[in-house]
Each structure stands twice: as structure tokens, then as C-alpha cells.
Amino acid sequence: MITPDWVSIQDDHRVVYWDGHAKGAGKRRFSRFKNATDAEAFASKLIKDANRTAGMAVRHGTNWKDLCQHWVQHHDGLIPEGTMRRRVSCMNKWIIPAVGDVPLIDTTLATLVTVGDMLVSNRSSRSNFNSTMQTMSVVADWADARRALPESPFGADNRRKREVKRLLAMVQDGPKMVAEEGNERDIQIDMVPTWDDVVRLSEKLADRVGGISKSREVGDRYGRAVRIAAGTGLRLCELLALSVEQIDLANGILTINRQLDRYTPWDGTERMPTTPPKSGLSRKVVVWAKVRDDLVAAVAEADENGIHFPPYLQQNWWPYAWGRLMENARGDAEFPWHGHWLRHHYGSYSLAPRDVGGLGHADGGGGGELQL
């Protein structure tokens, strides 16, 4: 096989190449293969990719996750904080999970549509859909100006607009479930998951974490977090920030006075970044008796800083890593509700009358630890 001077196939079936697609450009790398056929196939792909990226200022293997990280690093401190937070949130919650592994050289209209499909399938709000599509366009325009993407990466402008309009119509007009915070009283008991549904989700999440961490004990620890969320009504970042000093086991009360700052990287090795709870208001939460044992176990397992659910593999953006984990566990458990519905589960069962299976707490029932 004849190769350019920046690629060579060795007698031991190693492929040695420069990742800048020119001799002396970038880093010199090598990959080893079992036979000459596999080595030649890999070399052919390298050459094909180099031809496709001619004129592009990216190295072999650079993907959308890399691009998002470069964009954030370049714009840090240069744009308004609120705008940066929206962009980072869209990247970590939607763009990277959907297309983070897509090489930049393979970017097409399908890349944009894949992100849109994920938003639609997760019943995203219209504002969230618009913010994410705008973030995709902003990042793509920035990369295109720096020759990091193919020319017109999302294809003809009119076709791109048609696809975005089609997806937006599905967001606006597709089936909707009431899921916004602040209207828990409008969500009836027959709309939320049952406790059996919650337990099934917790078990599937425990299986996933146990498999990833190679420890069933670690898996059970994080499976417990799902049940605690359903038995306390904590929001995602409140749950991840939960620590020993916030728990009053004797009275069945949690003091929620902070949440994990989702916009600051944290891998669990340093002090946890926190912000005040939603609306800046602290509150007391009544704990269901059925999750008392889970809370006792969580206290016993807290790390040296008293945190119950830190990143188990030093994930840098823990809230988003947890969100992706929940999404995968939802699929495993055939659990059609989003994670925030654990909070609605708590609210609906706490407020619903006892004659329909609730606790009747809105009428003064319950008292102390709520009982199911």
C-alpha cells in the first residue's frame, strides 16, 4: 500500500502517523494491529479523513465534546455570566450527550437533527429547545470561522430551517405532561409514578452504577439516592448537595439551605461549590418514614466532608453526569417520567386525600414523619 509521507505501516503491523496530517505536524502517534489487513484499513481511513479535512484546522479524532470545551474556554469571562450559563447548560445537558462523540469532520445536518430529536423525545420546553438550537448554531459559527468544521456544516440554510421548524412544531404541539416546578398541586396522584415504579428505577440505576464502578456496594449507595429523592421531594442539585448536618433523623426533617452549583465544575476532590436553593429560600422538608433507613445508610456512608452522593468516578460536571445516568436508568426501567417527577411523586402523595391512597397532609394529616 502506497501512503503519504506522514503515514507509514511497519512490519509489525503498527501504523505510525502524524495527527496533523503532514510530516512533522501535530503529534506523532502509532496504533498496533494484529495483521496487515487491519493496519492497511486503518491507514486508509486516516488518509481518507485527511482528504476530507483538507483546509480544516482540526486534528484527527476531534469531536463535538472537544469543540464545546474549547468554546467555553475561549469565551470564559468574555460574555455575560447569564448567557454563559445558558450555553454551558445546553451543552452539558443536551449537545454533549447527544452528539459529543461525533467527529467534527462528520458534522452534517443529521448532527443538528440528532440534538433536536433528543429534545423532542424528552418533551423539552420550547424555550429550552430554542436555547439549545441557538447554542448549536453559535458554536458551529465560531468553529466554522476557525476552519474547525466542514464548510456549511449543517447543509443548505433553507433545509436547516425547515428541519428546525419541523422539530419545533413537535415540541409545541406534541404530547405534553405538566412538569414545571411550582404547580405540584395541579399534578394528581394518578399522573405520577407509584412507589413500585420508584423502586424499579432505583434498582436499575444501582445496577448501572454497580457495573460502571465494579462495586455493588457503590451501586446500592446511588440507587438509594433515587428513593430519597422520591421520599423527600428534593430537587436534583439539592439531593447531590445533601450532607450530614442537614439531616435530623430524630424528627424526620431535612434543612434545605443550599444546592450544588451546576455551573461550576466539581469532581468531588475539592470543596463542593454550592448556591442558595431555588428562589434563595431555605426550607424544612418532612421525610417519609419509608426512606428513613435509606437516610440512615446515607449518613453512615458520607464521605470525609459529610457529602452523601459525591461523584463516584470523579465526574467533572456531576449534575449532568447524574442526569445522563438517570436517563439511561429510565430506559432500563421503562420509566416514562423524567427525574423531576420524583419530586412530583412526593408532592402528590403527600397532598392527596387518604381515601385515594395519599397522606392527606394538605388537610393537616400525617404529623411528624409522614407515613405511607
Rounded Cα gap, residues 135 and 152, in angstroms: 16
Given a cut of 50, whether residue 154 has pLDDT beyond it is yes
Average pLDDT for residues 218-233, to the nearest whole number?
96
Q: Measured between alpha carbons, how far is 369 from 292 in angstroms, rounded to an integer?
A: 9
* Dist CA 82 CA 86 (whole Å): 6
The owner of cell 430529536 is 117
CA 46 – CA 61 distance, rounded (Å)? 10
Structural element, H or E, at residue 284: strand 283-286
Sign of CA dihedral 156, 160, 163, 169: negative
| Dihedral, CA of residue 32, residue 33, residue 34 and residue 36, to nearest 10 | -120
Q: What is the pTM of this model?
A: 0.56
Grid cell locating 147: 476552519
Does 354 or 98 have the greater pLDDT score? Answer: 98
Q: What is the pLDDT of residue 291?
A: 94
Rounded to 5 degrees, φ, ψ at 125 are -70, 160
C-beta of residue 361 within 8 angstroms of C-beta of residue 370: yes
Which pLDDT value is given to residue 367? 39
Bigger pLDDT: 171 vs 141:
141
Half-sphere exposure of 32 toward its Cβ, with a 13 Å CA cutoff? Answer: 1
What percent of the chain is modeled with pLDDT above 70? 89
Strands 274-275, 259-260: pairing kind: antiparallel
CATH superfamily of 185-363: Intergrase catalytic core (1.10.443.10)
CB proximity list for 173: less than 8 A, separation 6 or greater: none
pLDDT tens digit string along 284-308?
A: 999 999 999 999 999 999 988 889 9
Domain map (residue ranges) of the chain: 7-52, 64-173, 185-363
Give me the percent of the chain exceeding a pLDDT of 90.
42
Amino acid symbol at 141: D
CA distances from 26 to 32, 64, 115 (A): 19, 20, 31
3-state SS, residue 18: strand
Q: What would the grid cell of residue 293 be?
A: 433507613
Segment 220-230 mean pLDDT: 96
Which residue's entry shows cell 447569564? 82
> Which tens digits make up the pLDDT trace of 350-372?
888 777 777 776 444 343 444 43
| Neighbour count for residue 184 (Cβ, 10 Å) | 18
The dihedral region occupied by 123, where left means phi > 0, alpha psi between -120 and 50, and beta the remainder, is left
Predicted pLDDT at 363? 43
User: Which pLDDT does position 120 carry in this prediction?
Assistant: 86
> What's the whole-number mean pLDDT along residues 326-355?
87
**According to the model, what pLDDT value does residue 300 have?**
93
- DSSP label at 32? E
Q: How many residues would you count in the chain? A: 372
Taking only the tens place, the pLDDT of each residue in 161-209 is 888 988 888 875 443 333 344 444 457 777 888 999 999 999 999 999 9
User: How far from 94 is each of 65, 79, 97, 157, 265, CA to CA, in Å?
Assistant: 11, 21, 6, 22, 17
pLDDT for position 146:
81
Q: Over the stretch 54-81, which tens digit does the pLDDT of each residue have?
A: 555 556 678 999 999 999 988 888 888 7
pLDDT greater than 90 at residue 6: no
How high is the pLDDT of residue 211?
Answer: 94
- Residue 266 CA to residue 129 CA, distance in Å, equals 26
CA distances from 288 to 91, 195, 362 (A): 35, 12, 15
The better pLDDT of the pair 55, 110 is held by 110
Q: Which distant-in-sequence residues (6+ apart) come within 8 Å of 126 by Cβ?
A: 168, 171, 172
Round the average pLDDT of the chain to a whole number and report it.
Answer: 84
Per-residue pLDDT reduced to its tens digit, 208-218: 999 999 999 99
User: Residue 259: beta bridge partners?
Assistant: 275
For residues 135 and 147, what is the distance between their CA atoms, to the nearest angstrom?
Answer: 18
Radius of gyration of the chain (CA): 25
Per-residue confidence band for 225, with pLDDT thresholds at 50, 70 and 90: very high
Sign (positive/negative) of CA torsion 90, 96, 102, 104?
A: positive
For residue 29, the Cα-to-chain-centroid distance in whole angstroms is: 32
Residue 123, pLDDT score: 77
Cα angle: 96, vertex 267, 308; to 5 degrees: 115
